Amino acid sequence: MPKTTFKERVLNIVKNIKKGQILTYKEVARLAGSEKAWRAVGNILNKNQNKKIPCHRVIRSDGKIGGYNKGAKIKKELLLKEGALIKNGKMVLL
């Protein structure tokens, strides 16, 4: 059985995000087991950004897009295209 490190847990959670679902770094960190590890979460995604991981579905708590290796703008467009909507700085599903 795997040791499931924090990094692996985070990647697994992000990978498990459904279409149209958006989570904040803080939420992901909390699901991963460390509510205050949001910083590490962003770093982990940044260094892993694997194709299987829809890291573009993870945004900041402020409702801002945050960053993306391919470009934050593209990230936002991807989210809107998938059916996600950001309203009043919050994530809203269709």
Per rule CB under 7 A, is residue 69 in the interface with DNA?
yes
Cβ nearer to DNA, comparing 16 with 46: 46
Q: Which position among 13, 22, 37, 84 is part of the footprint of DNA (CB under 7 A)?
A: 37
User: What is the C-alpha to C-alpha distance for residues 48 and 54, in angstroms, rounded to an integer?
Assistant: 11
Q: Is 55 one of the catalytic residues?
A: yes
Residues 6+ apart with CB under 8 A from 8: 2
Site for DNA in 4-33 (CB under 7 A): 5-7, 24-26
Q: What is the DSSP letter of 56?
A: G
How remote is the C-alpha of 71 from its chain's centroid?
14
State the residues that interact with DNA by CB under 7 A.
Answer: 5-7, 24-26, 34, 36-40, 42-49, 55-56, 58, 60-62, 64, 66-69
